[in-house]
Copies of this chain bind each other. A is one copy, B any other.
Amino acid sequence: MTDRTSAIDILVSEVGPRDGLQSVATIMSTEAKKAWIAAEAAAGVREIEVGSFVPARLLPQLADTADIVAFAKTIPDLTVAVLVPNARGAAAAIAAGADKITLPLSVSETHSLANLRRTHEQVIDEAVAIGKLVREAPEGRRPHFEGSLSTAFGCTLEGAIPDAQIARLAAALMDAGCDEVGLSDTTGYADPAAVKRLIKLVRGVVGDPALTGIHLHNTRGLGLANALAALDAGLTTLDASLGGIGGCPFAPGASGNIVTEDLVFMLEAMGLRTGIDIDRLLEVRAIVTAALPQEEMFGFLPDAKLPLGFAPATLLEAA
Which positions in A face B, CB cutoff 8 Å? 154-160, 187-189, 191-194, 218-222, 224-225, 227-229, 232, 253, 259, 262, 265-266, 269-271, 299-301, 304-305, 307-309
A40 to chain B, nearest CB (A): 19
Contact A270:B221 (CB < 8 A) given known A229-B228, A305-B253: no
Contact A269 B193, beta carbon cutoff 8 Å = yes
Partner of A227, one of B225, B227, B232, B309: B225
A158: chain B residues at CB < 8 Å are 308
Contact A219 B308, beta carbon cutoff 8 Å = no
Partner of A218, one of B189, B222, B300: B300
Interface of A is mostly: loop
For A224, the closest partner residue in chain B by CB is B225
For A153, the closest partner residue in chain B by CB is B307
A262: chain B residues at CB < 8 Å are 220-222
A193: chain B residues at CB < 8 Å are 269-271
Which among A159, A187, A222 has the greatest number of chain B C-beta atoms within 10 A?
A222
Contact A270 B192, beta carbon cutoff 8 Å = yes
A200 to chain B, nearest CB (A): 15
A10 to chain B, nearest CB (A): 13
Q: How far apart are the CA atoms of A193 and B265 in the complex, in Å?
A: 12
Which 6 residue pairs spanning A and B have beta carbons closest together? A159-B309, A221-B300, A191-B269, A193-B270, A224-B225, A159-B308
A219: chain B residues at CB < 8 Å are 300, 304
Contact A300 B266, beta carbon cutoff 8 Å = no
Q: How far apart are the CA atoms of A165 and B161 in the complex, in Å?
A: 50
A300: chain B residues at CB < 8 Å are 218-222
Contact B304 A269, beta carbon cutoff 8 Å = no
Q: How far apart are the CA atoms of A170 and B4 in the complex, in Å?
A: 43
Contact B308 A156, beta carbon cutoff 8 Å = yes
Which among A156, A228, A307 has the greatest number of chain B C-beta atoms within 10 A?
A307
Contact A307 B269, beta carbon cutoff 8 Å = no
Q: How far apart are the CA atoms of A301 and B160 in the complex, in Å?
A: 18
For A159, the closest partner residue in chain B by CB is B309
Contact A301 B221, beta carbon cutoff 8 Å = yes
Contact B227 A304, beta carbon cutoff 8 Å = no
A71 to chain B, nearest CB (A): 31
Contact B222 A154, beta carbon cutoff 8 Å = no
Partner of A307, one of B187, B224, B228, B265: B187
A38 to chain B, nearest CB (A): 26
A304: chain B residues at CB < 8 Å are 188, 219-220, 253
Q: How far apart are the CA atoms of A155 and B308 in the complex, in Å?
A: 8
